[in-house]
Amino acid sequence: MRLKLTIEYDGTGFRGWAGQPALRTVEGTLREGLERVFASWNGLVVAGRTDTGVHALGQVASVDVEGGPPPERTAEALNAELPDDVAVGVAEQVASDFDARRSAQARSYRYRIYRRRSPSPFEARRSWWYPRPLDEERLAESAELLLGEHDFRAFTPTETKHRVFVRTVESAVWHRRGDSLELEITADSFLRHMVRTLVGTMLEHSPDELAALLEGRDRAEAGSTAPPWGLYLVGVRY
């Protein structure tokens, strides 16, 4: 049967999602859990490959399995085999043509900036500590400019496997939540480093400069790439 797994993980101790020899990754760790729980499995697909240090609250994977527990007990069985920094929240049987990546209609990310004047050990590796002044009205104006279809090639590394750089953003809003300022953004899909580079650019450039970058400018014209530990994959819509 084919399963849809909704997964949470703290990205601090992982070298990203994608399996790599001799490196600890989320995919490699999940594969080890699948090996222990099921007699056989294949076709593991993920909705979005997260980078080193990036977290997930609602990552989604699909996989074909045989000879293990029923779907209603799969999450519990996998979590018994997984380390504390990754967990399967929900496991459910889906149609055989469901594909975690290709079936996705939209993905949502959150980027957290910690604004307190002093750092917090509880926020380290969970947000970007940025105590310097910020113009929140300007950030809100910049976020509105992201809505709709744009060419985002300025917000992904120049050396890339991407061939199409146009993406459609359906929502982008900055929220003040206590000592944190958080960007919530949803789009049909994202380029590598896109959210982090958008955050860095919004902090360093004016809305007018950002608008020009959305016309397909070179990466060198955009701002810095924000650190990975402030980024969370919040969810995937199907």
Backbone angles phi, psi at 72, to 5 degrees: -70, -15
Dist. CA 3–CA 167, nearest whole Å? 28
Dist. CA 124–CA 132, nearest whole Å? 17
Would residue 51 show up in a list of annotated catalytic residues for this protein? yes
Tell me how far the alpha carbon of residue 10 is from its chain's centroid. Answer: 12
For residues 230 and 53, the answer to whether their CB atoms sit within 8 Å is no
Catalytic member of 51, 64, 99, 151:
51
Both structure tokens of 50: 């997260």
Query: Measuring CA to CA, which residue among 197, 30, 38, 4 is closest to residue 109?
Result: 197
How big is the chain, counted in residues? 238
Both structure tokens of 181: 């300022």
With 0-12 CB in 10 A as exposed, 13-18 as middle and 19+ as buried, what is 67? Answer: exposed
Tell me how far the alpha carbon of residue 58 is from its chain's centroid. Answer: 9
Tell me how far the alpha carbon of residue 226 is from its chain's centroid. Answer: 13
Would you please indicate which residues are annotated as catalytic (active-site) residues? 51
